[in-house]
Amino acid sequence: MRNKLAVIIIVLMAVSLAGCGFDSSDRDPIINGQITVDAELDPSGDYSGIELMVAETSLEGLRDTLFHAVTDSTGEYYGVASIDERGLYPLFISRNNQPLGIFNVVLAHGDTVTFNGQLPNINETATIESHENDLYEKFDRLQRNFQRVVNYVNSRGMSSDSLEAEMMKWSNLFWDLHQENSDTYVGERAAAASASILQGWDNDLMLARTDSILVHYNSLPGGLRSQITEFYAERDSLERSVEFLNQIEDRLNDKDQKLAVRQEKIKLLFDSSRTERAGELLEDFRQTYGGNQPAMEWADRTDYDITTLAAGKPFPQFSFQDSNGQTVSSESMQGIAFMIEFTRLDNPLYQQQYDRVVAIHQVYTNFGLEIITVPIGATNVVFNAFFEERAKYWDFIDPENIDANELREKYNLRRLPTRFLVNDQGNIVQRYVGTEFDGVVRGLQKTLTQQQTES
């Protein structure tokens, strides 16, 4: 079962790797083609006025138009996209200010993209052709086939030896795609996928391939970077993880490229209870990115985390009314270890995790643990529907008595579900956001064992 879960995590990380990468060619990418209209919809034969636009949001939160073209009467268009890095970009199609479709297109220096299609069924008729996009289609097909294997393993099972051989095979298939196309966007994505798959099967090869990616591209995709950072923290030490991030940062050329790595380093130190060092780096971050509004907003939220919600800090005072009309508050929880979770009941991730929370309750309630769930934004209909096929074992707060905005601000809720583990002294043990669920059990074992020892 552990192998199956590891496969799921690896797959989700590998197939979601996206972003921009190193680009060695100079010429900006050309986008051209023809968009026509079905004669039954418009018999005039005039296909002018169809707009094509590529845009992205900058680090400062501003929307930058990288490409814009308008078809002539024959439906033909031509233009040059202004990009800094190759990557997967959204191409928007519209006419008369009416959106007609959005397509993911690989843009890379030196490449020429031909996009053709016919209205009104642009999603069914569109074709995208270029060297980079043809390779991306091959990469996407490889990912889909790999996902089928993962789905099969998760539903049917597979022996450990067979599973290891299967993972090695798929990792090598991605690596072969990388080696055959190393100077392309797909080459970088395929390399990252190959390394990601290897964790738990051949860690030495995973690290060797990661080093090769770093040397060749002078950077790492964010998903793989986070995965290797966590790997070093668990296998070696926090210091080794920080050293790894420093190594990546030193390879990057400007402060905007370094931004995400610096954020990850601060978060790593904060999550590891190194709040003093995290605060020092946060102050440096503020000085460097003072003119970047989104970065400053992130810094403000992180500063609140460090000063108010860090491990060892008293959990902020609270008072709720549960679904049975009873008061659940900081006062009523004095001397009791508890886990409080903030979530939406219609959140797919929480619904997936609910059975695991039930298991935690069934095991650790014998050791004095209480669980409190705060269902944000739930109407009575949603609340009742959630429990039509589920049992309710612990306190759920009455959704009608919840101020969602106040909770988001007070507990710095940026992603749901968010959980806090609080010890019997009322102090925060750790915060767990989203998929950070495996750490809950480790935190429970440590906290409850310590309480039993002290008592």
* CA-based nearest residue to 439, from 348, 332, 356: 356
**Rounded-to-integer distance, Cα 451 and Cα 455, Å:** 6
Q: Please name which of 89, 84, 82, 46 lies closest in space to residue 67, comparing C-alpha atoms.
A: 82
Pick from 158, 213, 155, 196: which is nearest to 15 by CA? 196
Element (H, E) at 420: strand 418-422
89: tokens are 């970009």
Count of all residues that appear for the chain in the document: 455
157 and 229 assigned to the same domain: yes
> Three-state SS string across 271-335, please?
HCCCHHHHHHHHHHHHHHCCCCHHHHHHHHHHHHHHHHCCCCCECCCCEEEECCCCEEECCCCCC
Q: How large is the average pLDDT for residues 368-373?
A: 92
Residue 313 within any structural domain of the chain: no
Boundary residue ending a domain (253, 284, 308): 308
Residue 405 lies in a domain: yes
Rounded-to-10 torsion of CA 224, 230, 232, 238: 140
Note whether residue 194 is domain-resident. yes
Distance of CA 101 to the CA centre of its chain: 25
Phi, psi of 88 (to 5 degrees): -95, 120
Taking residue 321's Cβ as centre, other Cβ atoms within 10 Å add up to 15
- Plot region of 312 (φ>0 → left; ψ -120 to 50 → alpha; else → beta): left
Residue 21 belongs to some domain of the structure = no
25 located within any domain: no
Tell me the mean pLDDT in the region 405-426. Answer: 91
Nearest to 277 by CA among 255, 253, 246, 254: 246
Give the end of a domain, one of 308, 331, 366.
308
Q: Is the peptide bond before 417 cis (omega within 30 degrees of 0)?
A: yes
Considering the domain architecture, whether residues 270 and 409 belong to the same structural domain is answered as no
Same domain, 225 and 356: no
Q: Flag whether pLDDT at 3 surpasses 50.
A: no
CATH of the domain at 276: 1.25.40
pLDDT digits (tens, 9 = 90+) for 125-183: 999 999 999 999 999 999 999 989 988 887 788 888 889 999 999 999 999 999 999 99
Claim to verify: residue 271 and residue 348 sit in the same structural domain = no
Residues 142 and 289 grouped into a single domain: yes
Residues 256, 183 share a domain: yes
Query: What is the count of structural domains for the chain?
Result: 3
pLDDT given at position 17 = 43
Rounded to whole angstroms, what are the CA distances from 303 to 41, 117, 310, 340, 440? 57, 49, 10, 22, 23
For CA atoms 295, 296, 299, 304, the dihedral sign is negative
Query: Do 326 and 443 share a domain, yes or no?
Result: yes
CATH number of 417's domain: 3.40.30.10
- Domain, as residue range, for 414: 319-454
pLDDT of residue 452: 57
Share of the chain above pLDDT 70, in %: 90
Most distant CA pair in the chain: distance in Å?
86
| 76 or 404: which leads in pLDDT | 76
CA atoms within 13 A on the CB side of 17: 32
pLDDT (0 to 100) of residue 11: 39
23 is a domain residue: no
Work out the burial of residue 11: count CB atoms within 10 Å of its CB; fewer than 13 is exposed, 13-18 middle, 19 or more buried: buried
pLDDT of residue 130: 97
Q: Examine the domain organization and report whether 144 and 289 are in the same domain.
A: yes
Report residue 438's pLDDT band, with 50, 70 and 90 as the boundaries: low
Residue with tokens 């909770």, as numbered in its chain: 407
The last residue of one of the domains, among 72, 103, 127, is 127
Query: What residues contact 245, with CB distance under 8 A and at least 6 apart?
Result: 225, 229, 261, 264, 265, 268
- Read out DSSP for 101-156? EEEEEEE-TT-EEEEEEEES-HHHH-EEESHHHHHHHHHHHHHHHHHHHHHHHHHH
248 and 121 in a single domain? The answer is no
- Which strands sit side by side in the sheet containing 395-396, from one edge to the other? 395-396, 370-375, 338-343, 418-422, 428-433
Q: Same structural domain for residues 215 and 287?
A: yes
Measured at the CA of 328, the angle between CA 323 and CA 334, to 5 degrees, comes to 155
Task: Kindly indicate the confidence band of residue 20, based on its pLDDT and cuts at 50, 70 and 90.
Answer: low
Which tops the pLDDT comparison, 359 or 79?
Answer: 79
Distance of CA 144 to the CA centre of its chain: 19
User: Residues 29, 111: contact at Cβ < 8 Å?
Assistant: yes
Residue 143 CA: distances (Å) to CA of 157, 192, 250, 269, 397? 20, 12, 32, 33, 42
CA–CA gap between residue 267 and residue 302 (Å, rounded): 8
Same domain, 266 and 149: yes
- Residue 230, Cα to own-chain centre: how many angstroms? 15
CA 389 to chain centre: 30
The pLDDT score that the predictor gives to residue 453 is 57
> Domain holding 51: CATH number?
2.60.40.1120
Q: What is the pLDDT of residues 270-322, one digit of tens each?
A: 888 788 899 999 999 999 999 888 899 999 999 998 889 988 899 999 999 98
CA distance 368 to 232: 33
pLDDT in tens, 42-101: 899 999 999 999 987 654 455 789 999 999 999 999 999 999 889 999 999 999 988 899
Q: Are residues 231 and 302 in the same domain?
A: yes
Residue 184's pLDDT band (cuts 50, 70, 90)? very high
